[in-house]
Amino acid sequence: MKTDLSLKYISRWAADKNAPLLLLIHGYGSNEEDLFSFAPQMSNDMHIVSLRAPYDMPPYGAAWYAIDYTADEGKFSDLNQARQSMNLIKKFIQELLAKHKLEPSSINALGFSQGAILSMGLALSNPSFFKNVVGMSGYLNTDLVENYDSLEVRFRESENPTNFFVSHGTMDQVIPFSWAIKTQPILEKLNADYVFKQYPIGHGVSPDNFHDMKAWLEARL
């Protein structure tokens, strides 16, 4: 694991410096190794970098921000920590490109659970920053979208707005499906290029989910 930038990370580099960059952003209590298990099954023609969240959770996990599982949806997340982590991710990307002298043809994010929430928040705060965002088993927290009131105008005026693949398990007991489905009308209103997929699973990624995501992402890199 590398510790030379604002966030710790592990990586798999493509031969071409200009290859697309895919960032993997794990969920609450997990770590950088979790989503990196996808890497062997993904195209070799992309840089893959898996980040570790800044707040350690013994023995091996980490979190992007604190969560109160006993609270209702409105009090579910420590929004200040979440915003700080979003800023850290943006800073990390800039550092990563500079240190490794990368000029990727596109920057893409794949987030699971808490990582999906941050990925979608970052993408809608900066509509041209990511080319593609995969949000798995998360939801769109509009409180994390900067200048949310002007989002529709900013997104429509963006030259290359982000494409979205959003997926969720209908039996998810960690982040209810009813929260995730609220993402769909928001993306629809933005006229975003998006896919919303549901699977008969809990809080995880099924083989069908992974296959659909992989095909969608690799077709758009």
CA distance 14 to 19: 7
Instruction: Report the pLDDT value the prediction gives residue 73, as an integer from 0 to 100.
Output: 57
Beta strand ranges found along the chain (DSSP E): 9-12, 21-25, 47-51, 55-57, 61-63, 107-112, 132-136, 163-169, 194-199
What pTM was computed for the model?
0.95
User: For the chain, which residues score pLDDT lower than 70?
Assistant: 71-75
Spatial contact of 167 and 198, defined as CB atoms under 8 Å apart: yes
Domains in the chain, please, with CATH? 9-218 (3.40.50.1820)
